[in-house]
């Protein structure tokens, strides 16, 4: 099929590349000329494992092309995806300026039937607004479909190529046929394409992310309780996760969720609820718990250093909001850095991918180490903020010889408490007993 994707951000680029991989002819459109030039020249603009290989292959085969010209880009397309930003406005609601702006322009350009698809995460009712924006200037038949993405950063290619489900919101039989043909190669495994109305599809996206965020905040509260009741959250997690109704995944406590989706989507759903006079109480608590959780290690650190962090030096492993990404949006590590610096401490950080991004935001307020072990040199303690695989089985001898004292505060529960205690570390993590230095 012939596809156009408007917006070459994270979602747009993954969507365009993956559709071209199954043999579709894809044109990606962006107003950013520099970005379009880079992409045309084979320079990928985001870090996403596995994407570059597919991107280069399809670029070479000319199944994937880039342009700044909307008219040219959508001319031959049967389906046009809108993968545009919906940043939170000041009140937390999603800002639809970009989506509706492009819809307006598309309306002026349509000359034959096309399916216009909202891929961006948008509030309930947006498909109707997009429809109205296009219809204003348009004389030909068209349909607007809601098709939310469920891509996790770091595994987005897999999530796209082998989705657990594809949600498609449309009331048009014709659009339904186009969309099922397009997605057929992606659901060969038998996973479902779930058709529904536009509004339910829009709400499904927010409900999925808000539910997962709730699961995390719930476990973070159980972890808080474990610390006060001398229980071990790892045991409780395993105990409840083996109940199929609960499920094993997304039960890991830590120093809170971050990223570009959960914080924004939970906030937007609360805002949408308020607009229809509904107080979504659970989600308010989910956000509250998460804000507190980001700084959960701080009281432990303060207590260990008897309330005085002035002049103390900390090694920090992990800056990205989660592993396998360079994304630092709402990353707990940044909140920890702020708090440490405010109390007069210094920080030397290491992250395999996210250091440049942090540098561009906070500059040389902290030191950036060449390796995870370099970060430890002369530090009074190590703090772990992201569970990169390379942090999971480190060389403890190197840690011991580089750190000033054997002290670790682990926000991601990477190590077995007993084993690390035997190595002589003072070790505190989330919701588990501490290993206390004798
Ligand atoms: C999420 C959704 O998973 C995806 O479907 C959606 O479309 C976009 O938002 P992403 O933000 O990439 O994807 O990250 P994800 O892997 O889901 O993790 C989100 C956050 O939850 C991270 O900060 C992670 O550290 C945290 N998390 C996750 C936990 O604290 N505990 C867990 O058990 C799982």
In the prediction, which pLDDT does 47 show? 86
* Residue whose CA is at the smallest distance from ligand 1 atom 22: 257
In the prediction, which pLDDT does 92 show? 75
Q: Within 13 Å of residue 351, how many CA atoms lie on the same side as its CB?
A: 31
φ/ψ of residue 193, rounded to 5? -100, 120
Q: Number of H helices and number of E strands within the chain? A: 17, 14
Instruction: Render 267-327 in DSSP notation, one character per residue.
Output: HHHHHHHHHTT---HHHHHHHHHHHHHTTTHHHHHHHHTTT--TT-EEEEE--SSSTT---
Stretch 291-302: mean pLDDT, rounded? Answer: 97
In the prediction, which pLDDT does 203 show? 97
φ/ψ of residue 324, rounded to 5? 65, 30
Residue 89 confidence class, pLDDT cut points 50, 70, 90: confident
Distance of CA 137 to the CA centre of its chain: 36
In the prediction, which pLDDT does 273 show? 96
CB of residue 262 inside a 6 A radius of ligand 1: yes
- Taking the C-alpha atoms of residue 205 and residue 213, their distance in angstroms, rounded to an integer, is 12
List, in sequence order, every residue forming a beta bridge with 44; answer none if it has no partner: none
Q: Are 60 and 20 in contact (CB under 8 A)?
A: no
In the prediction, which pLDDT does 389 show? 97
The set of residues, in sequence order, having a beta carbon less than 8 Å from that of 386 and lying 6+ positions away, is 317, 318, 319, 320, 321, 322, 323, 331, 333, 351, 412
* Residue whose CA is at the smallest distance from ligand 1 atom 31: 252
Domains, the chain:
2-196 (3.40.50.720), 205-293 (1.10.1040.10), 297-428 (3.40.50.720)
CB of residue 151 inside a 6 A radius of ligand 1: yes
Q: Which of 47, 204, 210, 216 to mutate to test the pocket of ligand 1 (most atoms within 8 A of CB)?
A: 216
CB of residue 186 inside a 6 A radius of ligand 1: no
To the nearest whole percent, how much of the chain has pLDDT over 90? 94
What is the dihedral sign for C-alpha 149, 150, 154, 158? negative
pLDDT digits (tens, 9 = 90+) for 98-147: 999 999 999 999 999 999 999 988 999 999 999 999 999 999 999 999 99
CB of residue 160 inside a 6 A radius of ligand 1: no
> Which residue pairs from 352-355 have beta carbons closer than 8 angstroms and sit at least 24 positions apart in sequence?
352/388, 352/390, 353/47, 353/320, 353/324, 353/325, 353/326, 354/319, 354/320, 354/325, 354/326, 354/327, 354/328, 355/319
Give the Cβ contact number of residue 230 at 10 Å: 7
In the prediction, which pLDDT does 368 show? 98
pLDDT digits (tens, 9 = 90+) for 203-253: 999 999 999 999 999 999 999 999 999 999 999 999 999 999 999 999 999
438: pLDDT strictly greater than 70 = no
257 alpha carbon – ligand 1 mean position (Å): 7
Biggest CA pair distance of the chain: 79
pLDDT digits (tens, 9 = 90+) for 26-47: 999 999 999 999 999 999 998 8
| Mean pLDDT across the chain | 96
pLDDT digits (tens, 9 = 90+) for 239-258: 999 999 999 999 999 999 99
66: pLDDT strictly greater than 80 = yes
Q: Are 30 and 106 in contact (CB under 8 A)?
A: no
Q: Are 386 and 333 in contact (CB under 8 A)?
A: yes
Residue 353 tokens read as 């991918």
252 alpha carbon – ligand 1 mean position (Å): 11
CB of residue 321 inside a 6 A radius of ligand 1: yes
Catalytically annotated residues: 261
Predicted model pTM? 0.94
């Amino acid at each position: 099929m012939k596809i156009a994707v408007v917006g070459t951000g994270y979602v747009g680029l993954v969507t365009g590349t993956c559709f071209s991989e199954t043999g579709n002819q894809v044109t990606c459109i962006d107003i950013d000329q520099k970005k379009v030039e880079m992409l045309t020249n084979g320079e990928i603009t985001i870090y996403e494992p596995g994407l570059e290989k597919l991107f280069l292959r399809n670029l070479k085969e000319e199944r994937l092309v880039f342009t700044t010209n909307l008219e040219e880009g959508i001319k031959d397309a049967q389906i046009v995806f809108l993968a545009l930003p919906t940043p939170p406005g000041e009140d937390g609601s999603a800002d639809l300026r970009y989506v509706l702006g492009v819809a307006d322009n598309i309306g002026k350009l349509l000359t034959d039937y096309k399916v216009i698809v909202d891929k961006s995460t948008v509030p309930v009712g947006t498909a109707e607004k997009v429809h109205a924006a296009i219809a204003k200037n348009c004389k030909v038949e068209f349909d607007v479909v809601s098709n939310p993405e469920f891509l996790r950063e770091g595994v987005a290619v897999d999530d796209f190529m082998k989705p657990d489900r594809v949600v498609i919101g449309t009331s048009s039989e014709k659009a339904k046929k186009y969309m099922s043909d397009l997605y057929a190669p992606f659901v060969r495994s038998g996973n479902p394409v779930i058709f529904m109305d536009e509004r339910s599809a829009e709400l499904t996206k927010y409900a999925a992310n808000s539910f997962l965020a709730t699961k995390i905040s719930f476990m973070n509260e159980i972890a808080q309780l474990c610390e006060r009741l001398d229980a071990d959250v790892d045991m409780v997690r395993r105990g409840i996760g083996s109940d199929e109704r609960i499920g094993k995944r997304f039960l890991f406590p830590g120093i809170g969720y971050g990223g570009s989706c959960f914080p924004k989507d939970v906030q937007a759903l609360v805002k949408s609820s308020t607009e229809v006079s509904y107080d979504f109480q659970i989600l308010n608590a989910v956000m509250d718990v998460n804000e507190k959780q980001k700084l959960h290690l701080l009281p432990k650190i303060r207590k260990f250093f008897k309330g005085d962090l002035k002049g103390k030096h900390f090694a920090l492993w992990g800056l990205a909001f989660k592993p396998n990404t360079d994304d630092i949006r709402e990353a707990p590590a940044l909140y920890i850095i702020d708090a440490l610096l405010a109390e007069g401490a210094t920080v030397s950080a290491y992250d395999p991918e996210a250091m440049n991004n942090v540098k561009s935001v906070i500059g040389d307020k902290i030191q950036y180490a060449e390796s995870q072990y370099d970060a430890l040199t002369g530090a009074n303690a190590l703090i772990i903020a992201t569970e990169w695989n390379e942090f999971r089985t480190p060389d403890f001898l190197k840690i011991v010889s580089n750190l000033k004292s054997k002290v670790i505060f682990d926000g991601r529960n990477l190590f077995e408490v007993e084993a690390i205690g035997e190595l002589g570390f003072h070790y505190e993590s989330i919701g588990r007993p501490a290993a206390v230095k004798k």
